[in-house]
Structure 1
Amino acid sequence: MELSDFLGDWDLTRTISHADGTHAQFSGQAVFTPQSPGLLYCETGVLVLPGGYTMQAERRYRWHAEAGGIAVSFEDGRPFHRFDLATPRAAHWCDPDSYTVDYDFSDWPAWRAQWQVRGPRKDYVMHSAFTRA
């Protein structure tokens, strides 16, 4: 697998499980498009928060190949995290919060990402599932 394998449209579902027992749900699309030097990742969809409040949600990242792995940056170019395709795990520290992600490509082309987020005001696990659109 390589970076270009992600090109195109993906259906995306996400569950965000908070430590207090509440959950949020996201349903939408993720699209990888070419943007030098790699790919632009854009997800759009509907986020349903605990209590039923619904809102449109969007996020963007830049993905590019880097020494046998993939480097992910925020849309403005600031580094976010890097993972190796053989052991797809990464961490990001955003003081005072820590973020760790485990990617699972074992059912490729379906794949998953699980984020664990911890901090003074954050404590949740986010499961995202991607399938070809």
Structure 2
Amino acid sequence: MPAADVTDVDQSWSIREIADEFDVTHRTVRHYEDLGLISPERRGTTRVYRRRDRTRLALILRGKRLGFPLEEIRTIIDLYDRPRGKASQLEYVLSQIDERRRDLEQRRRDLEDALAELGEFERRCRADLDHLS
């Protein structure tokens, strides 16, 4: 292997590289750091992100896209470092997925009801307008 190759273990990224890769702002990355969700190394005032930080950031952003609150995301991420690591993490995530799915399905029913009501209101308004013409 050529000397210029870097292994995954040694690979690092700057805040700019991390932010660009995940299409978030530097402020967002620093916010997750302030919350203790990621913990880059420091070289003076420079943040150095490792594979663990990238993985955690990917999990944070996925959790946010799925509507999980940051405290739930923290719990999920932190479970990985405990005894039974991945197994306990996956069990917890599955229970949270079930809860999130129920919430989203209820929201979908609520939206469908609101759309139906809006459609009926529109129909009545158009009928009233036709009677006035």
| TM-score, scaled relative to structure 1 | 0.21
Greater strand fraction, Structure 1 or Structure 2: 1
TM-score (structure 2 length as normaliser):
0.21
Task: Identify, as 1 or 2, the structure richer in helix.
Answer: 2
- Bigger relative contact order, structure 1 or 2 (CA pairs below 8 A, ≥6 apart): 1
